[in-house]
């Protein structure tokens, strides 16, 4: 589970009946609720985005029934006369027996940003990915880039290790290197930083391959 106190990232979770079971404080502030507790037990039809509730719940039901990862989708949040544009990811919650017990997710606001623009480039002589075109010391190695893509897809270090066929310790070392290069302390901050740098296109590019 991600940290719930990262500025710029909003977190939520729902029960299998699609009632809110957790709601980050900054999300409550975003939609002008005095306390996150006031959202608990409610559904999307009870909140300011009720005009979008049918769409939200249909997506959540599909996640629950098919146990799929809903990653990096652009959605909107109606808030009075304002439309907030977000980039959201959601995934099924499971208990120790493997039963699906709800849905969890996180999003970042992209109303005034274009996070799918192509930013950064690969130097094919070194296979390094430079994420700042104006700085030759800001780059990811090929393996760091693979790990970053998986982090942005929502995978934890143990799963990343399995996918890349490396040890968990090695996966953690790559993640630590990425944190240092992006000046981040947590994996949640890495995701937000990658969004802000305009690197989410790396995931879309991967899906096309």
- pLDDT at residue 87 tops 70: yes
- Same domain, residue pair 83 and 130: no
The count of domains in the chain is 2
Reported pTM: 0.65
Please report which helix (H) or strand (E) contains residue 187, including its range.
Answer: helix 187-196
How confident is the model over 79-94, as a mean pLDDT? 88
Q: Which residues pair with 12 in a beta bridge?
A: 23, 105
- pLDDT at residue 209 tops 50: no
The one-character DSSP state at 36 is G
How confident is the model over 203-207, as a mean pLDDT? 55
Domain annotation covers residue 116: no
- Tens digit of pLDDT for each residue in 56-78? 999 999 999 999 888 778 899 99
Residue 47 sits in a domain whose CATH number is 3.30.450.20
Q: Do residues 18 and 103 lie in contact, with contact meaning Cβ atoms separated by under 8 Å?
A: yes
- Same domain, residue pair 134 and 171: yes
Collect all residues with Cβ–Cβ distance below 8 Å to 72 and sequence separation of at least 6: 87, 88, 89, 152, 200, 203, 204
């Amino acid at each position: 589970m991600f940290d719930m106190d990262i500025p710029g990232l909003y977190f939520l979770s729902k029960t299998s009946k699609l009632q809110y079971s957790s709601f980050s404080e900054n999300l409550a502030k975003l939609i002008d609720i005095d306390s996150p507790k006031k959202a608990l037990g409610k559904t999307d039809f009870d909140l300011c985005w009720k005009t979008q509730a049918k769409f939200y719940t249909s997506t959540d039901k599909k996640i629950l029934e098919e146990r799929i990862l809903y990653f990096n989708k652009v959605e909107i949040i109606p808030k009075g006369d304002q439309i907030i544009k977000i980039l959201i990811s959601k995934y099924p919650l499971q208990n120790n027996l493997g039963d699906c017990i709800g849905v969890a997710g996180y999003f970042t606001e992209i109303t005034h940003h274009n996070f799918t623009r192509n930013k950064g480039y690969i130097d094919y002589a070194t296979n390094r990915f430079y994420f700042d075109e104006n700085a030759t010391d800001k780059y990811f190695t090929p393996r760091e880039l693979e790990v970053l893509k998986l982090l942005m897809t929502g995978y934890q270090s143990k799963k990343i290790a399995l996918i890349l066929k490396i040890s968990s310790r090695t996966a953690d070392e790559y993640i630590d290197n990425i944190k240092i290069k992006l000046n981040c302390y947590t994996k949640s901050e890495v995701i937000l930083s990658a969004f802000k740098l305009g690197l989410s296109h790396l995931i879309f590019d991967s899906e096309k391959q």
